[in-house]
Amino acid sequence: MKILANDGMSKSGVNALEKAGLTIITDKVPQDQLIEYINKNQIDVILVRSATTVRTNLIDACPSIKIIGRGGVGMDNIDVEYARSKGIKVINTPGASSHSVAELVFAHFFGMARFLHDSNRNMPLEGESNFDGLKKNYAKGTELKGKTLGIIGFGRIGKATAKVGLGLGMNVLTNDKYDTPQHIEVEFFDGQKLNFDIKRVSIEELLQNSDFVSLHVPAQKEYIIGIKELEMMKTGSFLVNAARGGVVDEMAIVKALETGKLKGAALDVYEHEPKPEVQLLMNPNLSLTPHIGAATVEAQDRIGTELAEQIIELAKN
């Protein structure tokens, strides 16, 4: 069985596949050359992350493909149902990157609450000439402890984000379209565990009462956070989108920052990747990262290992 990990794969995953006697190729093939490469090399399995897309044209043009794997949670870059209708197995790793994304969310929250995203820009420019001025500008930081965290979308990543918030002493509200249990268990370094029942509320109540809001929803046809929703939010609140591009109205967020409705906003994903709007890139009130929610060594190891285990099991059958 030949496997093409077109967006890369961790060493742990590669080793596991090779140990099982499978051939793993980690060459990066450009999207427009992918069909030719797969057919020429008779690739059985294609593994992708977020860069490569697997659409109906590729599925139809590459009859050798038996398995499509997504290293991560969302599979909006794969035509999943069409692939399955053709008898192709489609797999992913929904839990492997949850904690990594949650930590990035709080990296943004902490950075914005203490102005790190802005001070890191200005200290190299003005630290020597305007130290006291910068100190005054960044003197009114905000603590997260005791504040309310609103989580929109309470799947695996939403739950992981809630656990971090609870560990910081935050009150947690959630909103989810599925009526899932709101019970979570927080595990500490020494093996101790605490159980929490999280309050599920309407999106209106969540926005009106949250100091910090984080989105953890799949790709949508319409904005989850638009002009109307931003108007509902507490004045001076913070917003992070590390879910999917297009679930928030980015230009409405820029306006909400300008008016002071939002004190800070952060984006790890964008409506127009890989070329975000210039208005976003140049805005000093935004905290920005280039879609790195799952980009930790630990998460990539888990992703690679989980994909390998699933492929090995499928290969046996």
Q: Could you read off the pLDDT of 154-197 as tens digits, one per residue? A: 999 999 999 999 999 999 999 998 877 688 999 998 999 999 99
β-strand 193-197 against 183-187: which pairing, if any? antiparallel
Going from the N-terminus, what domains does the chain have, and what CATH number goes with each?
2-96+297-316 (3.40.50.720), 98-288 (3.40.50.720)
Q: What is the mean pLDDT of the chain?
A: 95
Compute the distance between CA of residue 244 and CA of residue 246 in angstroms, rounded to an integer: 6
pTM of the model: 0.88
Average pLDDT, integer, range 132-140: 96
Token pair listed for 206: 């969540």
Compute the distance between CA of residue 150 and CA of residue 14 in angstroms, rounded to an integer: 38
- The reported pLDDT for the residue numbered 47 is 97
Residues marked as catalytic: 244, 273, 291
Compute the distance between CA of residue 93 and CA of residue 100 in angstroms, rounded to an integer: 13
Q: How confident is the model at residue 317 (pLDDT cuts 50, 70, 90)?
A: confident
- The reported pLDDT for the residue numbered 181 is 66
Tell whether the model's pLDDT for residue 313 goes beyond 70: yes
Q: How many CB atoms sit inside 10 A of residue 78's CB?
A: 23
Burial class (CB in 10 A: 0-12, 13-18, 19+), 38: buried
Compute the distance between CA of residue 106 and CA of residue 127 in angstroms, rounded to an integer: 26
